Structure 1
């Protein structure tokens, strides 16, 4: 069939230029289909030390294993309960992303090393109580660092999962003080190791898709309709009932290949229909399996979808249920941290469970602790890793390798990822067939989600920021009847304080962060998805992947942890071709961050005029915020910025800025911190701090 898919067969290896496998461009092949999709063959080989993770730039370790990777991002992470938190808020040790869990040792010898077993699937602000200075470090219970220092449990000693509470890592590990400097040498070591681990023994195809941009809200859609695909009538009815008619570019590029039984690594931006792209072929595979005779309620599990966070897993399960409307015999079950395992076990035992959506930590828990579960995995035909780059970045490589090892080798594997770093490629060697196909729907120079969002930044002193925040929100509300706003804050405790303040100001506000139980977060997430005229104050649990439709404004209060986090937060608006706005509100000493995003279309906005009445109104509302909440926010704020290399380098300046933040909260004196916390922060005997 004619059409534009040019094929370039051959040997090589670079999943195209994006993935970095060395791909040569061989001869041009025949027969493609239209759409500007080119195929480039490539070859790659096995990962030499798959089990131990050698050569991984971000080696991880779970229970009973050791990370051998000495990289700048070495980390341990069994049972991390799938969230990338802003930990370390209150003590502020240096590891930017170190993680720590129960009873183990951190073996990643890096500024990002750390360990996390049994952490509860959260990408949020853990570590607030102890506050090791990792903006994303995660800590659980009683662990030891690689330097041999012992940590007692600063968090709760009780497992909250039975009550539906989130076991939220009250402090991080991996406080690699002294290893927080320049790790470029380590990165060079990792890069060379990664290159050595990639040989040229196998071939995969690369598809580069040129997405159509017709302008407007449907520019992310292709011209191809779902009813043009070889989908079963029941599946097509489900697609239609879900409101889908035309495919997105990702769906058009991947569906035909997946339906042929190929393993696929797909690179695609968020908000482009990835979930439907992997669910539809999975549903087709399950629907064509022969009926299970001896126990219809407990057939083998046929599809496993692994998501990095609870919110993403819940979203994927809900989408699957919509698409399965006319497949009554196929059941979807959801297993995630923060919920009772006993209830999940009961649901999987009594209800159909051909499709299982899970977070990595909880899936591994069921593999190890649920009777008969491992046997049911022997029927898995489909393994899907959603947001694969994020799964690995959060420390789940070891868990993923254990999950892969527990599944049949004769299965189809799909990886969907926004980026394709070295570690994703290495997992491909472990989890996927050698003739996998790489589909890249992000062409170089193509329009990114963030480029269609109007971006502005404001710089203002801390004592004016709450008034400016209120002014920005009220102005936006007055101009947008169907407003829908997300306000991102640096930590969970700061998120809670800002939400309380805005509620006192009579705005329609909800909050979501790791300090809230999972049942609450699920309810609030659902409400925000379905509502208009609402403000969601959030930590980074909502920064990536979660699809909240029709968000009109993203407002970021304080400096993000890095450029990528800024972009991921901004990506909550302007989704699926819609327009949106983003505002970044910084203090003068946070302006350095603008250098990291200078290539983005962000402009400086004029500070809104704050009249005396508005100022007094905000001050009055702030006076009604609980003092204990202000004290918690102060400690969390200090921990977050203590971990920031730019700001935390000068401890005297840091304390001065923290006390400026304290005054902006309406406190006459900065809150007193325990001597232990000050010692852990490296802030003992710094003038301006009060101890107790």
Structure 2
């Protein structure tokens, strides 16, 4: 899709630059004109870049202009040749900063440590290599015994770690099995594979690990534990996993048995330090690749909001926004669009694969099976361009390379959620921008978050809605009616939670939801079970269509 001849000129960071634009600034009541848009200085001109904000894949294969980057070959005699062969086979030539610090600055590869490092800096290899090397040096457990335990916050991250582990160990003369354990999969199948297999390494999320450790046959497998790794520790505890992690640490062999503890975290809040006291011996080594002076992502990414009069117009507004952003820079256009609910995201995917056929589109949400989620995660990571429609299953710790745009469609559940989503762009030293699309009742969000640098979008997309609406209406014809009904019900349930902030009565909320249904092309509001209406606290509210969709 070529850009139009009269391309609008508003400020946009050049993706060829190695740093994002500075999006700091207070909210303003009206959007500035194009002529008023000042060119923002590059962040790297004002702020020293953190060691961790590097393109890790580039650093693996070249020194990336960093004279201090050392090749893995310098670790000959420190790491087993089979590990070096595995790294070479994976295309890893140079160490990233976090790998270099861990592998060269620990007193020994079996030392306890806290390592501050961001996602996407190569930390997985940084903790796998010392742990595996210790086994190869003479601490190999009996077959079927878990020697290395890695605990991480999300299933997607667990799969990512396991994939790298299999690559690192690919050239070992004796197969070293890496197993995973996480929710969203069959517990029985998980247990069967674990008990019948020979797991030397286990990568697990706290919930499922806590669950299966209730089985004595599982606990017995940890009798020769050598290393425990907490990955993304701050995000894991922030997600409420502290009780599960503490329970896990009580169920595995005690620290007094002498196993190595490694804690990887971008930040070190009190909760992380409390857990670290259980995992680490006193006198542990602290390493960091995080620059304390670096501006946080959510402060340096240019952020904008678009407000349209009605909820039904948000579909056309999103279409207009994507077209405008693409026209500004069509090279390797890669975006994530966050929806508010899983069923809402499924609807967006079904809609825009028809409305925007020129783009490759993906979906990722909790209603998908785990194999489908894994497949999509891999595909979008490897894609040079495309649009991912996602719920917050795109968990902390997931790193999708080269995402230049994050769009949030609808009201974020919290400021923290908004900030976390913004952090999906401008990663590993690349630039990016974020746009929030709201209808008028949701437009309070930028006003109550004045510390965030959210500015009005510099192009009037409301003037473009009619152009895109006809295409949206045609695309909705091809969307399954059941998908529309599920999205409608999810919309009602989600926004009922924020009814006071939206300043809506229950009757007004139903009218807004029915406008949403009309925009989807529904001839009448989709049916909702009487019991579901009661659970939502909407019993007796006019405008709802009560009934069962079963068999329809």
- TM-score, length of structure 2 as denominator length: 0.77
Aligned 8 A contact 1:543 1:572 in 2: no
Which residue of the other structure, out of 400, 424, 441, is the alignment partner of 1:589?
Answer: 441
Which residue of the other structure, out of 380, 393, 407, is the alignment partner of 2:252?
Answer: 407
Match of 1:91 in 2: none
Match of 1:449 in 2: 297
Which runs of no fewer than 5 residues in structure 1 stay unpaired?
1-208
2:146 aligned with 1:301, yes or no?
yes
Match of 1:677 in 2: 532
Which residue of the other structure, out of 375, 378, 390, is the alignment partner of 2:220?
Answer: 375
2:547 aligned with 1:547, yes or no?
no
1:443-487 Cα distance to aligned partner (Å, 9 max, x none): 443133345544332222322221121223334445424322221
Does the residue aligned with 2:428 lie in a helix, a strand or coil?
helix
Match of 1:494 in 2: 344
1:375-416 Cα distance to aligned partner (Å, 9 max, x none): 220111111122223333333333222321222222122222
Does the residue aligned with 1:354 lie in a helix, a strand or coil?
strand
- Aligned partners of 1:597, 1:242: CA distance in 2, in Å? 44
Match of 1:19 in 2: none
Displacement, 1:335? 2.3
- Aligned partners of 1:214, 1:416: CA distance in 2, in Å? 16
- Aligned partners of 2:114, 2:98: CA distance in 1, in Å? 12
- Aligned partners of 1:351, 1:213: CA distance in 2, in Å? 37
- Aligned partners of 1:245, 1:596: CA distance in 2, in Å? 48
Displacement, 1:302? 0.8
Match of 2:83 in 1: 235
1:276-675 residue pairs with structure 2 within 5 A? 276-291=125-140, 298-329=143-174, 330-341=176-187, 343-345=189-191, 347-348=193-194, 352-369=198-215, 371=217, 373-408=218-253, 409=255, 410-451=258-299, 453-461=301-309, 462-477=311-326, 479-505=329-355, 506=357, 507-595=359-447, 597-605=449-457, 606-608=459-461, 609-610=463-464, 612-644=466-498, 647=501, 650-652=504-506, 653-675=508-530
- Aligned partners of 2:384, 2:377: CA distance in 1, in Å? 13
- Aligned partners of 2:108, 2:49: CA distance in 1, in Å? 21
| Structural RMSD (CA) | 3.1
Match of 1:211 in 2: 50
Greater displacement, 489-498 / 528-537: 528-537
Aligned 8 A contact 2:228 2:279 in 1: no
Give the structure with the higher percent helix: 2
Aligned 8 A contact 2:155 2:205 in 1: yes
- Aligned partners of 1:437, 1:493: CA distance in 2, in Å? 46
**Using a 3 Å threshold, how does the CA distance of structure 1 residues 626 and 389 change in structure 2: closer, same or farther?**
same
Aligned 8 A contact 1:467 1:615 in 2: yes
Aligned 8 A contact 1:222 1:249 in 2: no
- Aligned partners of 1:215, 1:355: CA distance in 2, in Å? 28
**Using a 3 Å threshold, how does the CA distance of structure 1 residues 555 and 671 change in structure 2: closer, same or farther?**
same
**Using a 3 Å threshold, how does the CA distance of structure 1 residues 585 and 259 change in structure 2: closer, same or farther?**
farther
**Using a 3 Å threshold, how does the CA distance of structure 1 residues 566 and 214 change in structure 2: closer, same or farther?**
closer
1:37-186 residue pairs with structure 2 within 5 A? none
Displacement, 1:501? 0.4
Displacement, 1:214? 9.8
1:161-206 Cα distance to aligned partner (Å, 9 max, x none): xxxxxxxxxxxxxxxxxxxxxxxxxxxxxxxxxxxxxxxxxxxxxx
**Using a 3 Å threshold, how does the CA distance of structure 1 residues 222 and 315 change in structure 2: closer, same or farther?**
farther
- Aligned partners of 1:537, 1:386: CA distance in 2, in Å? 26
**Using a 3 Å threshold, how does the CA distance of structure 1 residues 580 and 241 change in structure 2: closer, same or farther?**
farther
- Aligned partners of 1:383, 1:301: CA distance in 2, in Å? 10
Which residue of the other structure, out of 75, 93, 117, is the alignment partner of 1:268?
Answer: 117
Does the residue aligned with 1:554 lie in a helix, a strand or coil?
strand
Displacement, 1:539? 0.6
Displacement, 1:303? 0.5
Greater displacement, 537-546 / 487-496: 537-546
**Using a 3 Å threshold, how does the CA distance of structure 1 residues 273 and 215 change in structure 2: closer, same or farther?**
closer
Match of 2:25 in 1: none
Match of 1:175 in 2: none
Does the residue aligned with 1:482 lie in a helix, a strand or coil?
coil
- Aligned partners of 2:344, 2:125: CA distance in 1, in Å? 35
- Aligned partners of 1:426, 1:444: CA distance in 2, in Å? 21
1:239-250 residue pairs with structure 2 within 5 A? 239-250=87-98
Displacement, 1:438? 4.2
**Using a 3 Å threshold, how does the CA distance of structure 1 residues 235 and 455 change in structure 2: closer, same or farther?**
farther
Displacement, 1:518? 0.8
Aligned 8 A contact 1:387 1:417 in 2: yes
- Aligned partners of 2:509, 2:469: CA distance in 1, in Å? 26
Aligned 8 A contact 2:346 2:363 in 1: yes
Displacement, 1:321? 1.5
Does the residue aligned with 2:165 lie in a helix, a strand or coil?
helix
Displacement, 1:354? 1.6
Does the residue aligned with 2:68 lie in a helix, a strand or coil?
strand
- Aligned partners of 1:275, 1:382: CA distance in 2, in Å? 14
- Aligned partners of 1:592, 1:220: CA distance in 2, in Å? 45
Displacement, 1:617? 1.3
1:478-497 Cα distance to aligned partner (Å, 9 max, x none): 54243222211100010011
Does the residue aligned with 1:458 lie in a helix, a strand or coil?
strand
- Aligned partners of 1:528, 1:430: CA distance in 2, in Å? 37
1:519-562 Cα distance to aligned partner (Å, 9 max, x none): 11111111212223332211101142112222232221112222
- TM-score, length of structure 1 as denominator length: 0.63
Does the residue aligned with 1:379 lie in a helix, a strand or coil?
coil
Equivalences, count:
479
Does the residue aligned with 1:579 lie in a helix, a strand or coil?
coil
- Aligned partners of 2:240, 2:474: CA distance in 1, in Å? 44
Aligned 8 A contact 1:212 1:222 in 2: no
